[in-house]
A and B are shown apart, each in its own frame.
Chain A
Amino acid sequence: MATLRDIRRRIASVNNTRKITKAMEMVAAAKLRRAQNRIEALRPYAADMIEMMVDLATYSGETSEYALLQERDPESVVAVLVMTGDRGLAGAFNANVLRRAFEVERTLREDGRETRVLAVGKKGIGTLRFRRCTIERSWQGLSDRPEYNDAKQIADDLIGLYLRGEVDRVRVIYNHFDSPMEQTLVDEPIIPVPREQVTDDTRTARPGAYLYEPDPATIFERLLPAYVEIAVFRALLESSASEQGARMTAMRNASDSAEEMLGGLTLALNRARQAAITQEILEVVAGADALG
């Protein structure tokens, strides 16, 4: 039977753990709010950018001539950008992304196609390395607060791989933020830029004298990389918000379990204490009886 001292020690230990998980829960909640605000802040920029591209595409003639819009057939090499967090203790957040990444890799391999893996986040890099996956490029230290410049660099690299013909498609796998409790795994193609995202066949050229400096086709071509940058930045922000949400939920569960455990332990402690007191009284009474 556990002694009083053992139980007290366990209570102290569980209590400390609970304090930590509570603190982590609160930190995650604060970071989550910030991450959500940043997703909101990106929206007008993304909307204006895409609106402008659709507009320009209408004026730019045959859009299939742009390198970033060209679909390749067959797609023999596919690059997969895997987005995880830099830290764990976030429930199934990192594991979900990685499981999907391995699935994708297997499916492509069975199909006779090659996969190139690029990874964001320490956790993903660690697991992929452990599984002896060759990582083409990796970035870490940005899952907490991704900057647009980070997205730009990643997008630059992805575009480079595509334009040099090293890969025929780029996909990104990340957690999309639905609510603090829920994330959906997203696996979306970003290069070549999906045509339907930046063009609108129902739209006719706007009447009226619009000036373009330089010509619409040049502007369109220069804006196309921005689509990839925005897609990467949005994925980074979504992933960052999801990570905080997942961590918050995981830590709340941990705090709740700790609380439950504390209840059980306190009960056990009181029982043991009473049993000890009863025992003592019995001994005193027995002792008195023996003397009398």
Chain B
Amino acid sequence: MTLHTINKTPTESSALNNCLASLSDGDALLLIENGVYAAMPGYAELFTRLPASIQCYLLGEDSSARGLNDLNPDFRSIDYDGFVELSCRYNKVVSWF
């Protein structure tokens, strides 16, 4: 099981698209930096076909910095300690940037 981090908005690079195309059951997504914009409700469509086994997270420091509230409820907000904890819980970390 893999933790995938994404640090770009859905349109500034193909990072999110490539990541979504490369997931295995039981993997997790973590939006960081500009990646957190993908959790805006307007982008919810991108994630509707994800298997239920994929956990979705975002880095709260990055979403707060960008003034994002009322985000896609499928994403759980975590802090850096949570990021570290996820890195341990999953077998490896793949960065999409």
A binds B: no
Binding site for B on A (CB under 8 A): none
Binding site for A on B (CB under 8 A): none
